[in-house]
């Protein structure tokens, strides 16, 4: 793009009352016009992450209105779904009294264009109906215990990996993850402490994700993770990094020496296959990781029917 043309576009955005921002694949602001920076109290030379903006504005009672009992739970839940689809639109209100209609458009490498318009003129009752609808949608995609995405949301993201491979030839990977010896955790410390371990695990993994990755709880101590447009080797490296982070965690105050690990099975998508086959291969690789000692990552690799340890 011509530099002068790019500068002219920036000037037009800065003269507009429409809020415009661009986030990179790690959810860090790379561009925001005057209206957006003013609404969210971002200095001209700053490039904070979305989570940093939300956290500091919530603490100061400005920016987006968040009527949530636990900010960290809300943040984890929102990050687990934010930017995982190519487009979404929603409404949000600001502490200054404005009501915004916001759209998020995400391209294949995870960069996001955010555009928001002022719709404060809508009747209050219409706004409340829309807000209730958005909250209901959010709840339907969120795991109650950990705050990350649930089986329903993850199933849609797994299917999207297969769609991308079938329609545009973009391969992705699926990992099925299981906490090691979790029954012993519950037997030793009780289910309440077991829940704390699950919550700790979800928070740690959430902090290691790229925007395009989707992570959630499938049930019990089993989680799943999708890696769109990612090779098997690259996905394996990401999982190994996650495993190293989890090994260092000490989540229980009652036992400062307590630590835990996970095992993971991973597989790459194949064109034209069913979701059940895709998931089965990852699950078979997980089983082999479990029976061969746990605490590592194992991949299901060709030829068909063979699983290979890549850890």
- pLDDT (mean) for 142-147: 90
Q: Which of residues 115, 140, 165 is at a domain's end?
A: 140
Q: Report whether pLDDT(117) > 50.
A: yes
Q: Report whether pLDDT(1) > 60.
A: no
Give the separation between CA 302 and CA 194, rounded to whole angstroms: 37
* CA dist list (Å): 132 to 74, 91, 119, 151: 16, 11, 17, 22
DSSP string covering 48-113: -BHHHHHHHHHHHT-SB----S-HHHHHHHHHHHTT-SSEEEEEEEBTTS-EEEEEEEE-TTS-EE
Instruction: Give yes or no: residues 163 and 105 share one domain.
Output: no
For residue 30, being part of any structural domain is answered with yes
Instruction: Give yes or no: residues 169 and 281 share one domain.
Output: yes
Instruction: Give yes or no: residues 223 and 93 share one domain.
Output: no
Please count the residues of the chain. Answer: 311
pLDDT-derived band at 309 (thresholds 50, 70, 90) equals: very low
Q: Report whether pLDDT(304) > 50.
A: no
- Say if CB 14 and CB 33 are below 8 A apart: yes
Lowest-confidence region among 35-49, 83-97, 255-269, 293-307 = 293-307
Instruction: Give yes or no: residues 248 and 305 share one domain.
Output: yes
- pLDDT (mean) for 92-118: 92
Q: Report whether pLDDT(131) > 80.
A: no
In this predicted model, what pLDDT tens digit does every residue of 19-51 receive, in sequence order? 999 999 989 999 999 999 999 999 998 999 999
pLDDT of residue 81: 85
Instruction: Give yes or no: residues 128 and 175 share one domain.
Output: no
pLDDT-derived band at 14 (thresholds 50, 70, 90) equals: confident
Instruction: Give yes or no: residues 134 and 212 share one domain.
Output: no
- 3-class DSSP state for residue 3? helix
Instruction: Give yes or no: residues 158 and 303 share one domain.
Output: yes
Element (H, E) at 299: strand 297-301
Catalytic residues: 221
pLDDT-derived band at 125 (thresholds 50, 70, 90) equals: low
CATH of the domain at 250: 3.30.70.270
Task: Name the residue range of residue 264's domain.
Answer: 151-309
Residue-averaged pLDDT of the chain = 89
Which tokens hold the place of 53? 């903006």
Q: In what order do the strands lie in the sheet with 173-179?
A: 214-219, 222-227, 173-179, 262-268, 297-301, 306-309
Instruction: Give yes or no: residues 76 and 160 share one domain.
Output: no
Q: Which of residues 116, 140, 164 is at a domain's end?
A: 140
Instruction: Give yes or no: residues 107 and 161 share one domain.
Output: no
Q: Which of 201, 175, 242, 206 is nearest to 80 (CA)?
A: 206
In this predicted model, what pLDDT tens digit does every residue of 242-263 receive, in sequence order? 999 999 999 988 888 999 999 9
Would you call the peptide bond into 303 cis, given omega within 30 degrees of 0 as the criterion? yes
| Number of compact structural domains in the chain | 2
In this predicted model, what pLDDT tens digit does every residue of 173-224 receive, in sequence order? 999 999 999 999 999 889 999 999 999 999 999 889 888 899 999 999 999 9
- Say if CB 88 and CB 103 are below 8 A apart: yes
Strand partners, 262: 179
pTM of the model: 0.70
pLDDT of residue 31: 95
């Amino acid at each position: 793009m011509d530099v002068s043309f790019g500068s002219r576009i920036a000037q037009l955005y800065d003269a507009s009352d429409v809020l415009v921002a661009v986030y990179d694949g790690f959810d860090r602001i790379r561009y925001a016009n005057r209206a957006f920076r003013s609404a969210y109290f971002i200095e001209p030379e700053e490039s904070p992450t979305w989570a940093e903006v939300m956290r500091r504005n919530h603490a100061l009672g400005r920016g987006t209105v968040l009527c949530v009992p636990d900010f960290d739970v809300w943040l984890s839940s929102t990050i687990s779904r934010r930017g995982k689809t190519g487009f979404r639109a929603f409404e949000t209100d600001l502490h200054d009294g404005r009501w915004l209609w916001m759209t998020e458009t995400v391209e294949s490498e995870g960069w996001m264009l955010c555009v928001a318009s002022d719709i404060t003129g809508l009747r209050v009752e219409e706004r409340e109906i829309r807000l209730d609808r958005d909250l209901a949608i959010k709840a339907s995609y969120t795991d109650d215990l950990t705050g990350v995405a649930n089986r329903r949301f993850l199933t849609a993201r797994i299917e999207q990996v297969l769609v991308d491979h079938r329609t545009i030839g973009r391969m992705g990977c699926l990992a099925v993850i299981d906490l090691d010896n979790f029954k012993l955790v519950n037997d030793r410390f009780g289910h309440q402490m077991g829940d704390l371990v699950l919550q700790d695990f979800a928070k740690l993994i959430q902090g290691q994700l790229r925007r395009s990755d989707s992570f959630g709880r499938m049930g019990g101590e089993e989680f799943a993770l999708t890696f769109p447009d990612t090779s098997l080797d690259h996905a394996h490296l990401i999982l190994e990094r996650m495993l190293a982070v989890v090994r260092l965690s000490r989540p229980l105050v009652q036992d400062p020496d307590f630590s835990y690990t996970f095992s993971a099975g991973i597989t790459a998508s194949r064109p034209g296959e069913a979701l059940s086959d895709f998931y089965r291969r990852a699950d078979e690789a997980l089983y082999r990781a479990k029976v061969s000692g746990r605490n590592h990552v194992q991949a299901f690799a060709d030829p068909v029917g063979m699983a290979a340890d890549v850890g």
